[in-house]
Amino acid sequence: MKPATHETIFALASGAGRAAVAVLRISGPESGALLAALCGGVPPPRRASLRRLTGPDGVALDRALVLWLPGPGSYTGEDGAELHLHGGRAVIEAVADALAMLGARPAEPGEFTRRAFLNGRMDLTEAEGVADLIDAETEAQRRQALRQTEGALTGTLRGWADRLRLLLAEQEALIDFPDEDLPPETEDRVRAEIDALAAEMAARLADGRRGERLREGLVFVVSGAPNVGKSSLVNALAAREVAIVSPIPGTTRDALEARVALGGVPVTLVDTAGLREAGDAIEAEGVRRALARAEAADLVIEVTVAGEAPVAEQREGEGRILVANKTDLGGAVPAGALGVSAATGEGMEALREALAARAAALTQAEGPAPLTRTRHRAALTEAEERLRAARIAEWPELRAEDLRLSLRALGRITGHVGVEEILDTLFARFCIGK
């Protein structure tokens, strides 16, 4: 898909269904003419004006707040407009019909943001940030996505690309020098800068995947012997979060997983008791997938019964937390374990806090903006590898080529190089109207 930008597009930007207000967005070269046709004139730029809208056949459509948003300082970079209509189905349809009659066409999903990208209003990581902001379920996800829309990653990547471009220029100058005239300090400086850049990239790659983890959500697995109360614990943890629990719809895994927000992070709790007991009742494929998730768990919640001897290998560690359940029965809580009772709720708040702290530690840290997608990581890894190759390249020409390839890899992250397929998949996932 590569929609032509000479077309003027429109879409409902607000949610579908009856509402107080519906926002219809318009973008493209005919936006001004469309506004003039609908409201009898183009209102002053970037100011809300109340106008009566009339269709091309002279029929009154609505009284609406109208915004004229001339390019290039608009979201898409093109001339655009917003119509804040009364949010009824018939109103929206009548105005959309009028726009279509006047020559505009309905937008594809993500087409507004795609145009913003194509017009250089944002780079690809910022556009991905917009997608993540719309999908954000929790507070920490929202913060991370917002930061990315504001160019947090862009800034870093642009800084690296600028430095690489300088390096490349110096390296190319070195190629042009005959050997005897080589200024020795230039060669040293180039090597030192390559090392510095590679080290910065390596540091960013060694971030424990926290950005990706936050974007995708964490997986905590509840394990332990039968009947220690694993399912009861999952239910207790999930029940307190009814308002934000979003059950994963339409799969047999419903019974095995609960999605909760802990420390501002979406966490899927996988109940391994459910896995085993499910037996033939659920499809093998569902079990297989849930087991695979369990293997890739970010944290294992190891459950025992208070007073019963824990299994030898159980130790609290980085990827593990020990819980002694059924404290209401009076058993002792072993050292290093959190005593709880899923039945009475005792200790559950402390458990919730401990899990929230782990979730936050796995996904958030002070410091520069994290990578948030596998494709960022793959491209940055390549950029770093190319730098290391450049460092040991025997010929100046080969080193220049490595530097060029490193720069290209960075360009793929921001969308300045060979990204047509990424564009299609990214923007197709957007809502229409964004």
Piece of 53-61, 98-106, 247-255, 340-348 that binds ligand GDP (CB under 6 A): 340-348
* Close Cβ partners of 420 (under 8 Å, ≥ 6 residues apart): 2
343, 389, 422, 431: which one contacts ligand GDP (CB under 6 A)?
Answer: 343
Is residue 214 a contact point for ligand GDP (CB under 6 A)?
A: no
- What are the respective helix, strand and coil percentages of the chain, to the nearest 5? 50, 15, 35
Is residue 329 a contact point for ligand GDP (CB under 6 A)?
A: yes
Is residue 227 a contact point for ligand GDP (CB under 6 A)?
A: yes
Q: Where are the alpha helices (DSSP H) in 217-271?
A: 230-239
Beta-bridged to residue 49, according to DSSP, are: 66
Q: Closer to ligand GDP at the Cβ: 171 or 325?
A: 325
Q: Closer to ligand GDP at the Cβ: 53 or 305?
A: 305
Give phi and psi for 335, each to the nearest 5: -60, 140
5, 27, 144, 231: which one contacts ligand GDP (CB under 6 A)?
Answer: 231
Piece of 140-148, 224-232, 378-386, 409-417 that binds ligand GDP (CB under 6 A): 224-232
Structure-token pair, residue 122: 């944002």
Residues 70, 32 contacting (CB under 8 angstroms) = yes
Q: Closer to ligand GDP at the Cβ: 273 or 383?
A: 273
Nearest to 303 by CA among 339, 253, 266, 267: 339
Q: Closer to ligand GDP at the Cβ: 153 or 287?
A: 287
Residue 379 Cα distances to 386, 409, 428, angstroms: 11, 5, 22
Is residue 228 a contact point for ligand GDP (CB under 6 A)?
A: yes
Q: How far is the CB of 276 from ligand GDP (least distance, A)?
A: 9
Q: Closer to ligand GDP at the Cβ: 232 or 364?
A: 232
The pattern of x and - marking residues 269 through 308 that bind ligand GDP according to CB under 6 A reads ----x-----------------------------------
Nearest to 159 by CA among 115, 133, 193: 193
Q: How far is the CB of 234 from ligand GDP (least distance, A)?
A: 8
Is residue 348 a contact point for ligand GDP (CB under 6 A)?
A: no
Piece of 88-96, 168-176, 341-349, 370-378 that binds ligand GDP (CB under 6 A): 341-349
Give phi and psi for 98, each to the nearest 5: -65, -45
Structure-token pair, residue 51: 């106008």
108, 135, 200, 328: which one contacts ligand GDP (CB under 6 A)?
Answer: 328
Q: Closer to ligand GDP at the Cβ: 133 or 256?
A: 256
Q: Closer to ligand GDP at the Cβ: 169 or 225?
A: 225
Is residue 226 a contact point for ligand GDP (CB under 6 A)?
A: yes
Piece of 37-45, 96-104, 325-333, 354-362 that binds ligand GDP (CB under 6 A): 325-333
Type of residue found at 34:
L
Nearest to 187 by CA among 399, 421, 359, 360: 399
Q: Closer to ligand GDP at the Cβ: 215 or 326?
A: 326
Is residue 255 a contact point for ligand GDP (CB under 6 A)?
A: no
Q: Rounded to whole angstroms, how far apart are CA atoms 12 and 21?
A: 11
Q: Closer to ligand GDP at the Cβ: 135 or 254?
A: 254
Which H or E run includes 170?
Answer: helix 152-176
**Cis peptide bond N-terminal to 72, omega within 30:** yes
Structure-token pair, residue 230: 């694993």
3-class SS of residue 333 = coil
Is residue 232 a contact point for ligand GDP (CB under 6 A)?
A: yes
Residues 410, 378 contacting (CB under 8 angstroms) = no
* Close Cβ partners of 14 (under 8 Å, ≥ 6 residues apart): 21, 22, 23, 87, 433
Closest-by-Cβ residue to ligand GDP is 229
* Number of helices followed by number of strands (H, E) in the chain: 15, 12
Is residue 339 a contact point for ligand GDP (CB under 6 A)?
A: no
Q: Rounded to whole angstroms, how far apart are CA atoms 247 and 249?
A: 6
Q: Closer to ligand GDP at the Cβ: 351 or 426?
A: 351
Is residue 342 a contact point for ligand GDP (CB under 6 A)?
A: yes
Is residue 325 a contact point for ligand GDP (CB under 6 A)?
A: yes
Is residue 341 a contact point for ligand GDP (CB under 6 A)?
A: yes
Piece of 61-69, 84-92, 323-331, 426-434 that binds ligand GDP (CB under 6 A): 323-331
Binding-site residue total for ligand GDP (CB under 6 A)? Answer: 16
Nearest to 110 by CA among 87, 125, 128, 97: 128
Give the interface with ligand GDP as residue ranges (CB under 6 A): 224, 226-232, 273, 325-326, 328-329, 341-343
